[in-house]
Amino acid sequence: MNNILEYKGYRARVDFSAEGRIFHGKIEFINDLVTFEATTVEELEKEFQAAVDDYLETCEKLDIKQQKSFKGTLNVRIAPDLHKTSAFGYGG
């Protein structure tokens, strides 16, 4: 089972609240807080994409540099795909 969404180079981990019967997610590996939620899987993907687009637009409006989830650096420089694999356990 995969609970990771990806869009425009950003990745989000998704969780489900049985109590609230809602999906919620957060863009991972950036310092800014970008979250989204939905009640269906289809809506969840749309909300994630809208959250990423809003983040990018906000950065542009405020003239701040957009953070990227994976830049390919840890304490040593590695390939971005290897960085993804080390963070999520797969290279998908």
Q: Find the range with the poorest average confidence among 41-45, 54-58, 62-66, 88-92.
A: 88-92
pLDDT score of 90: 63
Q: Does domain 4-88 have CATH number 3.30.160?
A: yes
Name the amino acid, one letter, at 16.
F
The CA distance from 26 to 40, in Å, is 16
φ and ψ of 90, to 5 deg: -155, 160
pLDDT at residue 79 greater than cutoff 90: no
- What pTM value is reported for the model? 0.73
Which residues 6+ apart lie within 8 Å of 20 measured at CB?
none
Tell me the C-alpha distance between 36 and 71, whole Å: 23
Q: What local confidence, expressed as pLDDT, does residue 92 receive?
A: 56
Helix-strand-coil split of the chain, %, nearest 5: 35, 25, 40
Q: What number is the average pLDDT over the span 81-91? A: 74
Ordered by start, the domain boundaries in the chain are: 4-88
